[in-house]
């Protein structure tokens, strides 16, 4: 009897430990931050390829069961995707080398929707980040910054989203993003995990020298581009889980990003 009691006590203790270790998903709202991939997916105007899905099987088999299988082909940089540091740095980490701590991280959402509605070429400034910290507290090391411009409301209208829909021509793009001084502050001084945004690029549309990409890449900070549903996240408290396809030697890749928001 004593042995049975001891065994039960052990089992209860083990169950308690397991319960303490598991993430109770019911305590979170799960928000999908990725656009779907399909014929409407937006790419940089100079991209020579797009996402394609080719049906290889879709129907009954001689064995009497249904079978479906496709092949897919996609540029790394289109739709909701990751920019690996290698994208703009010869020595930067490639997609599969990015530490998971930079892809699973506490999120801070900086809301510049109003500024972007007034100026589609808006760039986040150092002063705006400092003002944000004054209101919402310091940005800790290892935070994933999600810059909310409100731009995903234009998706997938290329003209509205990118500012220009001329195929093969990226010289007339217009959409908001990070500015260089804000990027330097976040990457070099705050040591953020990642820079995310709900527009096509972590550099604004008119950029021709991609300074923000270069600052982020030099600090081995990845970018999350073409995010959506940032309006469903709190300023603080969410955890972002942004896991790209693990492409070996990749400069980026399609990204399924979600956020866990405490209920
Ligand atoms: Zn990219």
What's the confidence (pLDDT) of residue 23? 86
Q: Which long-range contacts (CB under 8 A, 24 or more apart) does 256-259 make?
A: 256/34, 256/80, 257/32, 257/33, 257/34, 257/80, 257/196, 257/224, 257/227, 258/30, 258/31, 258/32, 258/33, 258/34, 259/30, 259/31, 259/33, 259/107, 259/232, 259/233
The CA 263 to ligand 1 mean position distance, Å, reads 32
pLDDT digits (tens, 9 = 90+) for 57-110: 999 999 999 999 999 999 999 999 999 999 999 999 999 999 999 999 999 999
DSSP 102: G
Residue reference for tokens 């469903």: 232
Instruction: Report, as an integer, the average pLDDT of 181-201.
Output: 98
Flag whether pLDDT at 262 surpasses 60. yes
Q: How far apart are CA 158 and CA 40, in angstroms?
A: 9
The CA 78 to ligand 1 mean position distance, Å, reads 7
What's the confidence (pLDDT) of residue 69? 98
pLDDT digits (tens, 9 = 90+) for 206-215: 999 999 999 9
The CA 232 to ligand 1 mean position distance, Å, reads 23
Flag whether pLDDT at 162 surpasses 90. yes
The CA 238 to ligand 1 mean position distance, Å, reads 24
């Amino acid at each position: 009897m004593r042995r049975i009691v001891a065994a039960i006590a052990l089992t209860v203790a083990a169950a308690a430990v397991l319960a303490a270790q598991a993430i109770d998903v019911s305590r979170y709202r799960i928000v999908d931050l990725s656009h779907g991939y399909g014929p409407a997916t937006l790419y940089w105007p100079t991209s020579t390829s797009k996402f394609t899905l080719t049906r290889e099987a879709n129907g009954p088999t001689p064995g009497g069961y249904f079978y479906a299988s496709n092949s897919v082909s996609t540029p790394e940089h289109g739709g909701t995707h990751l920019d690996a540091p290698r994208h703009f740095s010869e020595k930067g980490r490639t997609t599969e080398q990015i530490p998971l701590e930079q892809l699973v991280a506490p999120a801070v959402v900086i809301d510049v929707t109003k500024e972007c509605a007034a100026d589609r070429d808006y760039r986040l400034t150092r002063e705006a980040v400092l003002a944000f910290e004054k209101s919402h507290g310091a940005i800790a090391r290892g935070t994933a910054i999600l810059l909310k411009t409100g731009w995903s409301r234009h998706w997938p209208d290329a003209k509205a989203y990118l500012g220009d829909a001329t195929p093969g021509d990226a010289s007339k793009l217009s959409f908001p993003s990070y500015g260089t001084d804000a990027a330097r502050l976040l990457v070099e001084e705050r040591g953020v995990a990642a820079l995310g945004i709900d527009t096509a690029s972590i550099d604004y549309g008119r950029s021709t020298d991609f300074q923000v990409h270069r600052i982020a890449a030099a600090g081995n900070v990845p970018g999350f581009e073409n995010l959506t549903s940032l309006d469903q996240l709190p300023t603080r408290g969410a955890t972002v889980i942004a896991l790209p396809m693990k492409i070996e030697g990749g400069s980026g890749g399609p990204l399924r990003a979600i956020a866990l928001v405490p209920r």
